[in-house]
Amino acid sequence: RKEVEQDPGPFNVPEGATVAFNCTYSNSASQSFFWYRQDCRKEPKLLMSVYSSGNEDGRFTAQLNRASQYISLLIRDSKLSDSATYLCVVTYSGNTPLVFGKGTRLSVIA
């Protein structure tokens, strides 16, 4: 079975803090990786793709470590509006559906 594991949290951090989440995946055949964000009572929305070389989008940095089979998300200078659940997503080749982790809940506190 293809598994994606995340620490459920919650991570409670003060505004301005840096916080990092890890996500491990069990199947080495994994091809593509994403981070989604889900606000309370809303649908998940794509936050960013994760590329082999790592990628950055403003305060957010995603990294992939294929050897250890994990991806990470780093959020710098946390804002109150970053409070959400962050879902790790792994895909495989062909028409195999994406596999979601159960999510990590982040609360940024004033």
Partner 1 sequence: DVKVTQSSRYLVKRTGEKVFLECVQDMDHENMFWYRQDPGLGLRLIYFSYDVKMKEKGDIPEGYSVSREKKERFSLILESASTNQTSMYLCASSLYGGNSPLHFGNGTRLTVT
* Residues near partner 1 (CB under 8 A): 31-32, 34, 42-46, 49, 87, 89, 91-98, 100-103
- Contact of 46 with 36, CB cutoff 8 Å: yes
Please state whether the peptide bond connecting residue 10 to the residue before it is cis, i.e. omega within 30 degrees of 0. yes
Nearest to 5 by CA among 95, 89, 108, 96: 89
CB of 97 to partner 1, least distance (A): 5
Q: Closest CB to partner 1 among 11 and 36? A: 36
CB of 32 to partner 1, least distance (A): 4
Q: Closest CB to partner 1 among 18 and 49? A: 49
